Structure 1
Amino acid sequence: MLILFLSKRDWLSGYINNSCVRNVIKLGLPLCSGGQERRKMTDKAALQKIVEKTPELRRDGPGPCRVLIMSGLPLSGKSHLIGLIRKRVPDSFLLVRSDEVRPVVCRCLGRKRPAYDAIEHVTTFLVASEVIRAGLTLNWPVIVDATNLKEEFRRWAYDPAEAMKAGIIVVFMQVTDDVALARLAERDRDGSAATLAVYNKLRYETEPIERCSKPYVVYNSDGDLRPYAKDLANWITGKSDTVPGLKNLHREVPRKVVEPERERVDFYTGKVVKR
């Protein structure tokens, strides 16, 4: 048993080193550059810390190879739905939350609190993407908890899932403004950074659901989420191959008429891209 444990640790160590090299390549910078070497060390340190505190990444999972990607505004009930799924099928999946990865990245960057700048943002999602890949490699179904409001912003979750040929379902959580505001008083219960300002800012960044290129479902969190939790729990554990209301429609639709974004930060390169 000890030999198996050491073998698993050796495998994880090699995985972490290789994943950091992949991150370097994605960033498009030379491996020998001083800045890139520091970035590589930050990625490696953050991933190592997450592996150390995540029991699922130290043993094989029960399968199947599936990824459930949550999408929705803060306060829309994403974490609550995940909690209901966990009650139904405890210890059956790996949960990857951007709100838990970011503080680890911050500490590895030498920061006391999140700055939400480009380097932190890119590193957070690169590391989170590698955590998804590591979980799938160990045969863990994965649930991804982040806002993921745009198709381009879900790439960090799509890429490892596609590479591992995992089944994918995106869950769009919707909520009325009144209900969201009523939930603000409970925002500290799950470690979320949700505030009224964040909610209002992100509300205008949401794009039409029909842009989603993967199978998806749409849930309104104003009501009882337990039936949805049952359906998703059955899918994530392989008891069913679909969920009621699943759609697989991808078409180009007009963007909402709002003030256009003049620039954005690419998750993989960290570069500011002019629109």
Structure 2
Amino acid sequence: MDLQQLRAFLAVADELHFGRAAERLHMAQPPISRGIQQLERELGARLFERSTRKVTLTSVGEALIAPAQEVLDALDRVSRVARAAGTGEIGHVRLAYAGASSNVMVGQLARAVNQNHPGIHLELLSQHFAQPAMQLLTRGDIDIALGRWDHIPAIVRTRVIAIEELVIAVPETHRLADADAVSIAQFEGEPFVSLQPQTGTLLLERLRQMSRAAGFNADVVQHAPDSWTLMSLVSAEIGCSLTLSSVIDSIADPHLRFLRLTDDAPPVELRMAWLRDSDDRALHAVLRLSESVLPTPQT
């Protein structure tokens, strides 16, 4: 059994016509027929029922389609890895990100890396919020961090990959749940829930700034370790939460409402960060690819 026989088999199985299969493979028909016959002899079973009017798959032929395709797919992966190694685009890149607010973008990048750079293993490390992720990056424990920072160390380079708006998450039973837009002042005296302070989350600081500007101090009654838990606290009517517009698409809870803010609050920039002096080829291959997968938004 050889690869050409498998390619011929899959072409005939798809076309159910030897002539069209030959055209598809840019071959004459006789070699296609001989290859199928040889494969049938080696397997000891007929793969096709042939008549003057049509060609149909036998049960053995139908069963062979999936494993034959797997063999050719594996060969394609081997070829792509070999080409990647030849250009130096092979290695291990560690990416840290928080979770709900960036998991969609992380998934897009990971799929693109797998497709375009099969020689690069992109290790995804979730539950790493902005400040802890930056600490890991500056220590060299990771290669890329996704986060929202007001201050960037000099040894780090960043690129904006998303611009997000601040929104208020409330339970469906909240008195303002049906409002089109709200101001932070309308939540004076109400309980809030937030991410844990030690995560270095920018959102907690923004909540404090906005509430003070509105003439009150936000009453944070409970903290959560991640955005999914945080939204479950809102859904359970423990409190409201200042969060990001990107969370809306990541949290599927019919008991939540997300309200646009009318306050004059600057948007939040999600950034990709890496060490300025890194010369790692795999890292730079991922960074180049990210420019097309996660382009910097136009402002």
TM-score computed with the length of structure 2 as normaliser: 0.24
| Bigger Rg, which one | 2
TM-score computed with the length of structure 1 as normaliser: 0.26
Q: Which has the higher helix share?
A: 1
Q: Which has the higher strand share?
A: 2
